[in-house]
């Protein structure tokens, strides 16, 4: 009998509470992997879209033309393009209202970009909390199953006159499977959370930098319009 069959046999013969623990941990693990694959694709797309927009933005293209192109697609913009569209839309609206105070115009554009940035970060960070919870809770859930299984194994010794290690070994082995399953669910979740949180933080810094640089461009545009 190979190792896999032994593990399967231990699971099948485990007590009902231990089976319930294993089922919960299996659900945690499955949900974590779904989130991991989706989050990786999301962050890859966000990085790629940011690089593509930065290339267009810093190529010397007209800002008004970029704004028209963004609005012409008729879809909800994300990432750096969403920040740019929100800031430039508010900037253009303030200028159309003939707002004379440059500070009000700039603050309005910056406020719009901050709102867009908050929404974007909320989208990128969604479900990261679940990975963190799985990583921190799963070992304890597995430990609960292990403790329960060991208690049941030793409780069975009360009805025998002579106890041997062979009598409790199967029960202890079944219980330890819960600990292993807890680690199996926790380790990928912790790694993914740390990895994705770092990537989101890098994107956040990238967005903040663009916001500051774009604000400087808008400020120079305001001063140029005042002189003309």
Residue 65: its pLDDT value, please? Answer: 86
Q: Whole-angstrom Cα distance, residue 190 to residue 186?
A: 6
Q: How confident is the model at residue 16 (pLDDT cuts 50, 70, 90)?
A: confident
Q: How many domains does the chain have?
A: 1
What confidence tens digit (pLDDT) does each residue in 32-41 have? Answer: 999 999 999 9
Rounded average pLDDT over 66-95: 84
Q: For CA atoms 149, 154, 158, 164, give the dihedral sign.
A: positive
Buried b (16+ CB within 10 A) or exposed e, 7-16: eeebbeebbe
Rounded average pLDDT over 18-35: 92
- DSSP 8-state code for residue 14: S
**Highest mean pLDDT (candidates 133-137, 146-150, 164-168):** 133-137
What confidence tens digit (pLDDT) does each residue in 53-67 have? Answer: 999 888 887 888 888
CA atoms within 13 A on the CB side of 65: 6
Residue 132: its pLDDT value, please? Answer: 96
Q: Whole-angstrom Cα distance, residue 77 to residue 61?
A: 19
More confident residue, 77 or 12: 77
pTM for this one? 0.82
Domain, as residue range, for 110: 3-227
């Amino acid at each position: 009998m190979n190792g896999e069959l032994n593990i399967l046999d231990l699971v099948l013969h485990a007590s009902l509470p231990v089976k319930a623990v294993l089922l919960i941990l299996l659900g945690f693990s499955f949900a974590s992997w779904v989130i991991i694959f989706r989050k990786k694709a999301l962050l890859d797309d966000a990085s790629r879209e940011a690089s593509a927009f930065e290339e267009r933005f810093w190529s010397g293209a007209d800002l008004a033309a970029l704004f028209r192109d963004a609005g012409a697609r008729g879809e909800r913009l994300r990432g750096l393009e969403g920040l740019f569209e929100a800031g430039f839309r508010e900037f253009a609206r303030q200028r159309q209202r003939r707002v004379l105070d440059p500070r009000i115009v700039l603050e309005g554009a910056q406020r719009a970009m901050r709102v867009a940035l908050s929404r974007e970060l909320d989208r990128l960070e969604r479900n990261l909390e679940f990975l963190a919870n799985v990583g921190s809770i799963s070992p304890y859930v597995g430990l609960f199953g292990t403790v329960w299984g060991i208690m049941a194994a030793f409780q069975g010794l009360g009805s025998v006159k002579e106890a041997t290690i062979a009598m409790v070994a199967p029960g202890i082995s079944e219980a330890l499977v819960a600990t292993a399953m807890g680690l199996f669910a926790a380790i990928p979740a912790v790694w993914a959370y740390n990895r994705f949180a770092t990537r989101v933080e890098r994107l956040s810094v990238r967005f903040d930098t663009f916001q500051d640089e774009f604000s400087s461009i808008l400020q120079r545009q305001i001063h140029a319009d005042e002189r003309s």
